[in-house]
Structure 1
Amino acid sequence: MKDKVSEEEWAIRVDLAAAYRLVAYYGWDDLIFTHLSARIPGPEHHFLLNPYQLMFEEVTASSLVKVDVHGNPVEPTPFITNPAGFTIHSAVHMAREDAHAVMHLHTPAGQAVSAHEDGLLPLTQTAMIIRGDLAFHDYEGIAVDLDERERIVADLGDKDAMLLRNHGTMAVGSNVGECFVKLYFLERACQAQIMALSAGDKASNPPQGAAEIAGQQGAAGLTLVANMLAWPALKRKAYRLDPSFAT
């Protein structure tokens, strides 16, 4: 595949395949379900999506499928896709010019917090950093109704993270690495919240105003740290774990 696509597309394929492998490494995958997608630059509105029948730990840069806004392959491929599962992604990709990568998970911690009446609580620094960039979308059933796309986009607004109520987590980024790191913060915050609340009813809330300060600091620095430091380190980790993702 490397010789059949542009250098720009291949670089995006490698990053997205690395993200799939890292999701598997952190235990965030849900068998073959959920998606991480990335936009291919150009007027065609094409995106990269995982083959439906592969585990995330099997995804490679070459096996990623190029799809249209409906999740249907635009080129011959031996793999199948899940167009219904692309509903959430296509909505955000089409509505947000800055949404070059969209990632959606069904982790137990993410689902649990999405089902909590108060959503993500400011119990940890990680939660405080991401909380100001967090939106919510109420559950409407399995996301196969294309009409739901408009409501997802409206609820997301200009935020880069979302709790899909009773469903899971989502993050948006201007590239794969930035999106992954934002998702990492959201998932980490959800996991810590479940652990804190399960320990009893004496969780300590931060002093008044502290959560807002942390949120402002996070908004200013998270994107920079993701692009310059965290994602390059994560890619090195992916190569150490199994470099076959880049084939």
Structure 2
Amino acid sequence: MTTPQTCSAAEWQARVDLAAAHRLAVHYGYHEGIDNHFTLLLPGHTDRFLLAPFGLHWSEIRARDFLVVDFAGAKLAGEGPVEDTAFHIHAPLHAARPDARCVMHTHMPYATALSLLEEPELLMASQNAIGFAGLVALCDYAGFALDSNEGRRMAAALGEKTVLLLRNHGVAVTGKSVAEAFNTLYFFERAAMVQILAQSTGYPLRSVPEPVLSHTVEQYTTSAEVEGLDRIELHFAALKRMLDRREPDYAE
């Protein structure tokens, strides 16, 4: 069993953050019980990642539970099964994008609803959507990812972008950290939600016109910090404090 005494401080913090992300996915309704997957490259490495053993409900995942799996599929630490699609999606994505240290794949409702549309485009009609301008890639559906060719196909479709909208399937997002990836997951679902709700009225959507669109895209960069503090880190820290009050065992 991995504990704070048996691993580095950096690995333990990574485990705590990844466990928090799973619990938060349950809180927000982003999970599908024991399915879908979040992974994080092990601190200090670019060839192995943390993955929850298949069979645990996301509401019970703790920091100590994660497996360490390498890109060849070998289980280096931990107990429990490695689910096929988790490995075949995440290993190729991490290998192709070592900067994307965290990869989160879900079938969360509104992002998945968006993926079902004939033209699954996140329209530049809301402030949240503008934050994803130029960052979303599309990938056609090809069935279950039961071999790594499918993961490599997804990685090629993603390229250097941040979000991979998987047609007829769901979404995969990337980040340099758990905090960044979860922030992306959260705001992409919010942007998809308001778009789907607006489209459900049957009325045309009003997109943000140029030059306001370009100006707002730039503002996303220039307003990334508040008094020198990173917005994304502040968001995730606040979410973890919520978990600390409600279900502190995630950090065990």
1:152-204 deviation line (CA, Å, top 9, x unaligned) = 22221111112111111111111111111011111111111111111222322
The runs of 5 or more residues in structure 1 that have no matched partner are none
The 2-side partners of 1:5 and 1:32 are apart by 26
Asked whether the equivalents of residues 132 and 215 of structure 1 are also in contact (C-alpha less than 8 Å), the reply is no
CA drift at 1:76: 5.1
1:98-135 deviation line (CA, Å, top 9, x unaligned) = 11111011012111111221421112110111232111
The 1-side partners of 2:22 and 2:57 are apart by 9
Q: Where do residues 201-216 of structure 1 align in structure 2 (5 Å cutoff)?
A: 201-216=203-218
The 2-side partners of 1:47 and 1:129 are apart by 28
Q: Where do residues 88-107 of structure 1 align in structure 2 (5 Å cutoff)?
A: 88-107=89-108
Aligned to 2:186: 184
Q: Where do residues 122-133 of structure 1 align in structure 2 (5 Å cutoff)?
A: 122-133=124-135
Matching residue's letter, 1:5: C
The 2-side partners of 1:156 and 1:220 are apart by 25
Q: Does 1:7 align with 2:5?
A: no
Matching residue's letter, 1:75: A
Aligned to 2:231: 225
Q: Does 1:198 align with 2:200?
A: yes
Aligned to 1:110: 111
- Which deviates more, 92-101 or 36-45? 36-45
Asked whether the equivalents of residues 162 and 169 of structure 1 are also in contact (C-alpha less than 8 Å), the reply is yes
Aligned to 2:161: 159
1:1-56 deviation line (CA, Å, top 9, x unaligned) = 21221111111000000000000000111121100110103357221111211111
Paired positions, count:
245
Compared CA separation, residues 43 and 225, structure 1 to 2 (3 A): closer
Compared CA separation, residues 151 and 76, structure 1 to 2 (3 A): closer
The 2-side partners of 1:57 and 1:73 are apart by 23
The 2-side partners of 1:70 and 1:222 are apart by 37
Compared CA separation, residues 127 and 99, structure 1 to 2 (3 A): same
Asked whether the equivalents of residues 46 and 98 of structure 2 are also in contact (C-alpha less than 8 Å), the reply is no
Aligned to 1:59: 61
Give the SS at the match of 1:190: helix
The 2-side partners of 1:12 and 1:160 are apart by 20
Compared CA separation, residues 71 and 57, structure 1 to 2 (3 A): farther
Asked whether the equivalents of residues 124 and 207 of structure 2 are also in contact (C-alpha less than 8 Å), the reply is yes
Q: 2:176 aligns with which of 166, 170, 174?
A: 174
The 1-side partners of 2:222 and 2:164 are apart by 19
Identity of aligned residues (%): 38
The runs of 5 or more residues in structure 2 that have no matched partner are none
CA drift at 1:85: 2.2
Give the SS at the match of 2:131: helix
The 2-side partners of 1:74 and 1:118 are apart by 39
CA drift at 1:84: 2.4
- Which deviates more, 35-44 or 95-104? 35-44
Asked whether the equivalents of residues 130 and 218 of structure 1 are also in contact (C-alpha less than 8 Å), the reply is no
> What is the TM-score with the length of structure 1 in the denominator?
0.92
- Which deviates more, 12-21 or 112-121? 112-121
Give the SS at the match of 1:9: helix
Asked whether the equivalents of residues 34 and 85 of structure 1 are also in contact (C-alpha less than 8 Å), the reply is yes
Compared CA separation, residues 57 and 208, structure 1 to 2 (3 A): same
